[in-house]
Structure 1
Amino acid sequence: MEEFKLWKDWRFPSNDYGQIFGIADSGVETFKGTPMKSLAREICQNSIDAGVDNQPVKVEFQTFQIKKDEVPHFDQLMDAFHRAEEFWSVQHSQKAVKFFKNAQKAGKKEYIRCLRISDFHTSGLTGSDQDYNSPWCNLTKSTGASDKSGTAGGSFGIGKFAPFACSDFRTVFYSTVDKDGIKAYQGVARLTSFKKDDGTVTQGTGFYGLEKNMPVKDQIFLDPRFMRPDGMSGTDIYILGFDPDEDWVTQMVVSVLDGFLYAVFSGRLIVRIEGIEISKDHLPKLMEQYKDKFKEHADEYYQVLCADKKNCPEHQLDVDGLGTAHLKILISPGLWHRVALVRGTGMKIMDRGYISNIIPFAGIMYIEGDDLNTFLRSLENPQHTKWETDRADDKKKAIKITKKLYGFIRSCFNEQKKEGGGAPLDPAVGQYLAAEDEGKQENREETLTDVIREVTLTPRTVRSSADSGASSENPDTGVKAGENDPKGNETSTGLPGEGSGRGSGNGNNIGGGGSNEGPGAGTHPVDHKQKIVYIRPSKKRAVCKSRKTGEYQIFYTPAVSATNGYLEVFIAAESGDYSTDAVSASLSDGTPLKVEQNRITGLTFEAGKPLKINLKLDFGGDYCSMEVKGYGHTV
């Protein structure tokens, strides 16, 4: 063993006059947009896949500082950065040059910040003593390769690049003790091609280890505060040059809860991030602490998991003998109209919508069965966020199974909606219709009449196609943009050419004094009224918070700014919009607003800034589809 230690080194294999590898590595670039979210998702997925002994898989993320001299042969890495910078300066690649300049700058500091990722109760990385076709080789040396099968989460072999996207040096050390007690560690630097002393050009990826780029048969502990317990199999990953955003911990906690809520809730996964424990026992506290941070509504899905069977019964579907789909749907105010689709690993794949935009609900569908999970896994995109039937070898089968699953969700929702007393609506068009009593629908008849009535044509101003956000005409009052609003505040502007008396501009006679308006202000400026305009929203949404009490929340993002504004609310029905009185209204921070019948007044619109308003209508006991229109004043 001593003989091999002499040969520990960073080695960058030659490309043998073949392909040149640049800085835009497709694997690394895949995760650059959302590095923290991707890191949490890929690591947790890989660890769950490697779970053993039916014990909860534990994953730990912990930062630490290390002197650069304690990184194995760090001087060789710095030399590689320098050579790569020179190589790509000749190639005129500013992106590569910038990266290697930054890497050298970071490498001159006395201490280097690192992130340690450790998992426990897993099989570790097996096959470290094999040259090819092993989990160890696929992780450290392969590209586009994965030996995962069955219900395992990954299948494309690109998740391994997520840690490199979080490294200022694109350098990672792997250390493992596998289930058979075999130990190994190796460093991997995914850089670019560069020229060595002998004139050869490298492939770009370098390896720290023994001859023939074999791993060292031992563990490495770069974190001075960490030692893997004896007999505890698992893997440690060390990311060198870890320099994330300040809120990286929050990003990772939210990512774990959004992506692996089912696994955590079922007790299969425990994650610790800088001392914050994500486990089933800590979920109530975490949901409250991060409720404003969830982008994929983990807090609402948590309500589904915790709901009682009476309000949230479980439905089951056998899918062609391949497996079973378990579905829970909760209908409750404020939920976001989606169902989370969760595969056997406990990881959420996607959120399914297109069910109902009126009735608030959330649901979780969990797929059980190796054959069904294996098939659905084959439909996933590389990021594991969609099922795409075009990826299937048997496309007809894929379409059949996914339609069956989506149809099952819709039928269970409709059944549960009826049992809960809601009026049945067609989900495809429900967002445009008012909730109406079934009996009234049955009494309607289509009739024709021979009576000829007088038809009056009313000319309307055609709205310009170039809509800047403020309408050319108020759709209700007929006040056009540019006209004074009789109810608007008075403003004395003294615009040029206004007022009686001698202006400075030309009338009928050159030199002024004519009867026509000139460019001068005159001696008696005209008092103007503010102009009222229809405020077009760039986004708007109304969400029911309580069906019984008629409470809603309105989100209205104006396309332009205006003062002295107001919103008018209507109940949308098939034949038109109907006014309904507002009982009370307030801003999201509790500030009360004045209401006049169906109008919420005293608003200020700021372009692009959403207004969030809590509203109580004089319409309770049932869901309704709401229409909201905004108006404001400009000078």
Structure 2
Amino acid sequence: MKDINNHWQFSRIPNIEESNFNKILERFYSLGVAGLTRENIQNSLDGRLKEADQPVVVKIELGTVKRQSIPGIESIVQRINSLEGRNGYTKETISHMKASMLEDKVRYISFEDSNTKGLSGAKYGQTNSKDHTWGIYAYNKGVHFEEKDENFEASRGGSHGVGKIASNAASDIHMMYFANCDAEGEQHLGGTIQLIEHKLGNNYYRSTGYFAKLIDEKFMPFENHFHQIFEKKTRGLKIVIPFLRENFYKKDEIIRAICDSFFVSIIEEKLIVHVNDLIIDSKTIDAIVSDPQYYTQEIEMMKKVFTPLYVNTYKNMQPRTIEVGNQTKIYKFNLYFNYDERIPKGRMAIIRTIGMKIEDFAVKNNSTKPFNAVLIGGIEEDSYLKSLENESHTKISSDDIKDPHLVKQARKFIGNLNKEVVKVIEEEIRKSNPVDGKINTGDLLYTMELDFKDNLSQAFAATKIKNGKSLVTNETGENTDATQAKIKRKKREKTAKVDSTDTGVRKKGKMREKGVNENAAEDQKDEYKINPARVERLLMQNQEVIQLNLASNPEVAKAQSCQIKFNIIDGMGKEYLNEFNMLENYSTVIDTNSGNDCEISPDSIKNVSIKDGIVSLQLALKPAFNRSLKFMYYVEV
């Protein structure tokens, strides 16, 4: 058998105990090329030179390389051919690995950084010294090197010690290399591969292999004299991932991932990234986020990716200070906030001081408010946010914290963060939608009157007497004085012929379409009056949003479409029929349930869908629209 131990080292074990691939591989694989890009650029920012006044530069290269140019590939071929799957998943993965190694040319991606420290102590190989970062990075899994400078350490992105495996997850055979040039100019090449525990010859081996020499039972790196894609001749680190997965070989996604996660670093000139021949820096990022090749440009359509909004907010809004406590300490953040009624989804980018976005934070109960925000703290804030991050650095939560006391603090902090941002949102909504003059509370009083009467009718029963008037008796049969409210309600019900229920939707009777044979039952529509309590209405600068909740009435809710009519009401609840012309007041009406335009006639809005018992409309207002009008709403089905 050919000697396979000349490049890749696997530690021997007495027997196979674990037959699965590392579960973290699957987790990072699910994050795609965006997760890979984010993890490696974050590592480069973490390795920046404190004394340097230059931005970190990362060069990302996508290309192909001949298989025989990959160091130690033949020994890996023998290892993979020896693997045996014990379940469906491992069998499928091993089969895919074997097929991937048959290609003469293979895809690769590399991440090379400059103005960074690189790794120290490579010439000493596998040591336990905290000063030798090569030994920690190359040969220790789940270990995160910590800076002696506490402030510098707090600002760094990594903390879980699992980020290195993101590069393995991007390879079809779970292989990655790292080329290093240190402060003395010494150049070395290392690497790792993640297989499963396996048998080769008469021996059993661990799942992880290291690209290294074995000297006196210690791993030692190779001096770097390999193919040019593995070269690193200037100080810093270069990650090379051969056998790159096909679905990771996407230049446009990499460019978006850089802007999505690091727009603040780029704007603040802390980071420059090259992707093949494209340069992303403070001068070019505006053009990139404004390019429809990379991002949707219509603000109304930005519902999942918000980077163009974040860039605009961060560059053009003045920050305000908000304070957020966690029971024991108050943290101060700069909040850049932009209110724009065109924005369909409100999100806040939470940013670390290195300029990396943690997440698109959805403010509780305000995720559909029209705002965009960017939140950045200082060193203390960074340190605390770091303790709340998940291992992929994409969310703050209390889920990964074990200490119950710290869990309570984390939940308190996140709850208070929501509250403080809600205050800003509500303040901006009031500014953008001021109330002109005194508030007309007539419709509120009218609703309260109706509720009072309904409650009264439930508590008392009416009893007829000889003179035609009515008395009101309580549940015990004791008489009380007849009330004017009871008489009015009876008259109103008699006049309107309304069948009252407790659903808030009252049936008015049959309505016939004009010009249609009135003897045809199928041409008739039922009309329902909607209780104001079932109506949500929001007036903005040039549009109005209306939502009718019909879910409590099965007859109406089961319908698929309807027509909507408005009648003007005054402060005392008096209705004025046929005095509001739809065509004169609305230019367009969008059914937000379906996204379709509705037909507008002078007296109604047609072709409105009902989804889960809800009618939802967005109406564009004409200049003549009177914003002080109040309405009673009717639905025809």
Do the two structures share a fold, i.e. TM-score over 0.5? yes
CA 246–125 in structure 1, closer or farther in 2 if over 3 Å, else same: closer
Conservation of the 8 A alpha-carbon contact between 1:41 and 1:256: yes
Where does residue 332 of structure 1 map in the other structure?
340
Contact 2:350–2:375 under 8 Å retained in 1: yes
Equivalent AA in structure 2 for residue 124 of structure 1: G
Task: State the Cα distance separating 1:569 from its structure 2 match.
Answer: 9.4
State how 1:412-491 maps to structure 2 within 5 Å.
412-418=424-430, 420-423=431-434, 439-441=439-441, 450-451=483-484, 452-453=486-487, 454=489
Paired residue type of 1:35: G
Displacement of 1:34 in angstroms is 2.2
Distance 1:478 1:157 in 2: 70
Cα distance change, pair 274–530 in 1 and its aligned pair in 2 (3 A): farther
1:191 offset after TM fit, Å? 0.7
Compute the displacement of 1:64 (Å): 1.8
Show CA shifts across 1:317-374 (max 9, x none): 49788764111111112223222221222112221412646752111110112x3321
> SS at 2:312's partner residue?
helix
Query: 2-side partners of 1:124 and 1:208: how far apart?
Result: 18
**Are 1:583 and 2:577 an aligned pair?**
no
For 2:38 and 2:537, how far apart are their aligned partners in 1?
31
2:600 is aligned with 1:595: yes
- Of the structure 1 ranges 132-141 and 184-193, higher mean CA displacement relative to structure 2 is found in 132-141
Deviation for aligned residue 1:241: 0.7
2:127 is the counterpart of 1:131: yes
Matches of 1:265 and 1:444, distance apart in 2:
50
Matched, 1:111 2:113: no
> Cα–Cα, structure 1 residues 127 and 316, in superposed 2: closer, same or farther, change >3 Å?
farther
Q: For residue 268 of structure 1, what is the aligned residue in structure 2?
A: 270
Query: Paired residue for 1:361?
Result: 371
Deviation at 1:281, TM superposition (A): 1.2
Tell whether the 8 Å contact from 1:173 to 1:237 is kept in structure 2 after alignment. yes
Separation (CA, whole Å) in 2 of partners of 1:175 and 1:527: 82
Q: Give the superposition deviation at 1:236.
A: 1.0
152 and 564 in structure 1: CA distance in 2 versus 1, 3 angstrom threshold: closer
Deviations 1:82-131 (A, max 9, x none): 110xx22xx3x222222222222221121111111111211112343342
Structure 2 residues without counterparts, runs of 5 or longer: 147-152, 454-482, 529-535, 548-557
Mark the CA change 1:115 to 1:567 in structure 2 (over 3 Å): closer, same or farther: farther
CA contact (8 A) 2:586 2:621 kept: yes
Summarize the Cα distance change of 1:67–1:548 in structure 2 as closer, same or farther, 3 Å threshold.
same
For 1:78 and 1:624, the matched residues in 2 are separated by 77
* Corresponding position of 1:71: 70
SS where residue 300 of structure 1 aligns? helix
Could you say which residue in structure 1 is the equivalent of 2:320?
Answer: 314
Residue of structure 1 equivalent to 2:173: 169
Residue deviations 1:257-316, cap 9 Å, x none? 22222222212122222333322211221112223297331111112112254xxx5335
Q: What's the counterpart of residue 494 of structure 1?
A: none
Gaps of 5+ in 1: 424-434, 464-473, 491-525, 535-541, 555-561
Match of 2:286 in 1: 284
After TM superposition, the structure 1 stretch with the greater mean CA deviation from structure 2, 251-260 or 28-37, is 251-260
1:374 equivalent among 383, 391, 395 = 383
Q: Secondary structure of 2:63's match?
A: strand
Counterpart check, 1:301 vs 2:283: no
Instruction: State whether residues 65 and 105 of structure 2, in contact with CA within 8 Å, keep that contact through their aligned partners in structure 1.
Output: yes
Coordinate RMSD, CA, aligned: 5.0
- Give distance in 2, aligned partners of 1:626 and 1:386: 44
Aligned equivalents of 1:488 and 1:80: distance in 2?
83
The amino acid of 1:45's aligned partner reads: Q
- The letter of the residue matching 1:325 is F
How far, CA to CA, are the matches of 1:357 and 1:622 in structure 2? 26
Where 2:161 maps in the other structure, the secondary structure is coil
Match for 2:195: what amino acid?
A: L
Amino acid at match of 2:245: D
Q: 1:459 to 1:260 in 2, by over 3 A?
A: same
Change (3 A) 1:621 1:477: closer
Tell me the distance in 1 between the aligned counterparts of 2:514 and 2:95: 64
Residue 42 of structure 1: CA displacement? 0.9
What one-letter code is carried by the residue in structure 1 that aligns with 2:253? Q
Check conservation: 2:255, 2:275, Cα contact below 8 A. Answer: yes
Question: Residue 387 of structure 1: CA displacement?
Answer: 2.5
1:39 is displaced (CA, Å) by: 0.5
Once the 2 structures are TM-superposed, how far is the Cα of residue 170 of structure 1 from its aligned partner?
A: 0.7
Task: Confirm or deny: 8 A CA contact 1:326 1:366 kept in the other structure.
Answer: yes
Question: Which stretch shows the higher mean deviation, 351-360 or 55-64?
Answer: 351-360
- The corresponding residue for 2:210 is 207
The one-letter code matched in structure 2 to 1:329 is F
2:501 & 2:603 partners in 1: Cα distance? 26
Paired residue total = 531
Query: Structure 1 residues 567 and 70, CA, compared in 2 at 3 Å: closer, same or farther?
Result: farther
What amino acid sits opposite 2:342 in the alignment?
Answer: G
Partners of 1:131 and 1:623 in 2: how far apart?
77
What is the letter of the counterpart of residue 543 of structure 2?
A: G
1:48: Cα distance to partner?
A: 1.0
Q: Say if 1:615 and 1:193 are closer, same or farther in 2 by CA, change over 3 A.
A: same
| Counterpart-to-counterpart distance in 2, 1:217 and 1:235 | 15
The reply to whether residue 178 of structure 1 matches residue 182 of structure 2 is yes
In structure 2, what is the Cα distance between the partners aligned to 1:627 and 1:214?
80
Query: What SS class does the counterpart of residue 325 from structure 1 fall into?
Result: strand
Question: Per the alignment, do residues 57 and 334 of structure 1 end up closer, same or farther by CA in structure 2, a change over 3 Å counting?
Answer: same
Which of 199, 219, 239 is equivalent to 2:224? 219
Residue 8 of structure 2 is aligned to residue 10 of structure 1:
yes
CA distance in 1, matches of 2:115, 2:373: 31
- 1:156: Cα distance to partner? 0.8
Contact kept, 8 Å, 1:317 with 1:326, in 2: the verdict is: no
Q: Partner residue of 2:461?
A: none
Among 417, 423, 448, the alignment partner of 1:411 is 423
The structural deviation recorded for 1:138 is 3.5
1:238–1:357 Cα change, 3 Å: closer
3-state SS of paired residue (2:388): coil
Question: 1:548 aligns to what?
Answer: 541
User: Residues of 1 paired with 2:219 and 2:632: CA distance?
Assistant: 67
Question: d(CA) in 2 for partners of 1:627 and 1:177?
Answer: 75
Give the equivalent residue in structure 1 for 2:251.
249
1:365/1:601 Cα in 2 relative to 1: closer, same or farther (>3 Å)?
Answer: same
